[in-house]
Amino acid sequence: MIQALHQTGKLRLGVNIDHVATVRNARGSAWPDPLRAALLAETAGADGITAHLREDRRHIRDADIEALMAALTVPLNFECAATAEMQAIALRHKPHAICLVPEKREERTTEGGLDVASDQNRLTDYITPLREAGCRVSMFISHDPRQIEASARIGAAVVELHTGLYSDLLADGHAALADRELASLQAGAEFAASLGLEVHAGHGLTYDNVEAIAAIPELAELNIGHFLVGEAIFRGLEASIEEMRRRMDLARGL
Ligand code: PXP
């Protein structure tokens, strides 16, 4: 019965606007404005906005976070590395959600999940003030049961499962390996939900791969950015998001 309710439940869509800022920063100008994109995303049906303030500020900047906090009517999911600087910024703004991600300066994007299992004591201390400030703390991790268990143990409310490998395997034509990865994501979502964690997923999601992920009944939210901003070049941001929403709903039988 619970399973059936999950399956028919609407999946939240968090729209990641980092790459609107990437285009802005490429020319050192004031446009395109990530806040304008976030407000349009709200109009198009986004249930939340995600923004990753990287240590090197390569896309989103501090002023963007301030503007988003002041103007959004949907929740902000603030993504950051687990550093002292980011903790101070998060505590100043107290966004709805804080998603901790691993960060390496040389990487093009967030390449792997956070190693919560090897850093449990530090992360427990790190998230305590964030939880006390009323933020929902999320760990961006792989589907490895050790990482899921550790996330529950340290007191995270949410885990976001990394779908990047699934998306890469499919895009590279490795269908059998992609199927196996999908099964691991399904098992991970089930395990996380059994521990009382809210389960999200994201990274590398596109129109072609979103339906299989959206059909995982334990998932409550997907966070999608790069593809949506790219697709906006061809069909406009609102239409780009609306089509993603449609495919997610289809996967849930809505
Ligand atoms: N979720 C997390 C935790 C991420 O780090 C990212 C990328 O910033 C995304 C979702 C969105 O990934 P993509 O831009 O590939 O859709």
Residue 220, helix vs strand vs coil: strand
Per-block mean pLDDT, blocks of 10 residues, the chain (254 long): 51 98 97 98 98 96 98 98 98 98 76 92 98 98 98 98 98 98 98 98 98 98 98 98 98 95
Whose alpha carbon is nearest atom 12 of ligand 1? Answer: 203
Instruction: Say yes or no: CB of residue 142 within 6 Å of ligand 1.
Output: no
Residue 246, helix vs strand vs coil: helix
Q: What would the DSSP string read from start to end of 76-88?
A: EEEEE-S-HHHHH
Q: Find how far residue 97's CA is from the centre of its chain.
A: 10
DSSP code of 117?
A: G
Instruction: Say yes or no: CB of residue 224 within 6 Å of ligand 1.
Output: yes
Q: How far is the CA of 225 from the centre of ligand 1 (A)?
A: 6
Instruction: Say yes or no: CB of residue 209 within 6 Å of ligand 1.
Output: no
**pLDDT value of residue 104:** 77
Angstrom distance (rounded) from CA 219 to CA 246? 17
**pLDDT value of residue 1:** 36
Active site residue 200: no
For a substitution probing ligand 1, which of 18, 200, 219, 226 has the most ligand atoms within 8 Å of its CB?
A: 226
Q: In 106-174, which ranges are continuous DSSP H helix?
A: 120-132, 145-154, 164-171
**pLDDT value of residue 106:** 64
We find that the CATH architecture of domain 2-251 is Alpha-Beta Barrel (3.20)
Which tokens hold the place of 55?
A: 């240590």
Whose alpha carbon is nearest atom 3 of ligand 1? Answer: 140
Angstrom distance (rounded) from CA 52 to CA 68? 12
Angstrom distance (rounded) from CA 60 to CA 56? 10
Secondary structure of 154-195 in HEC code, one letter for each residue: HCCCEEEEECHHHHHHHHCCCHHHHHHHHHHHHHHHHHHHHC
Q: How far is the CA of 96 from the centre of ligand 1 (A)?
A: 17
* Domain segments of the chain as ranges: 2-251
Instruction: Say yes or no: CB of residue 228 within 6 Å of ligand 1.
Output: no
Name the catalytic one among 19, 52, 59, 93: 52
Residues 94-133, buried b or exposed e (16+ Cβ, 10 A)?
ebbbbbbbbbeeeeeebeebbbbbeeeeebeebbeebeee
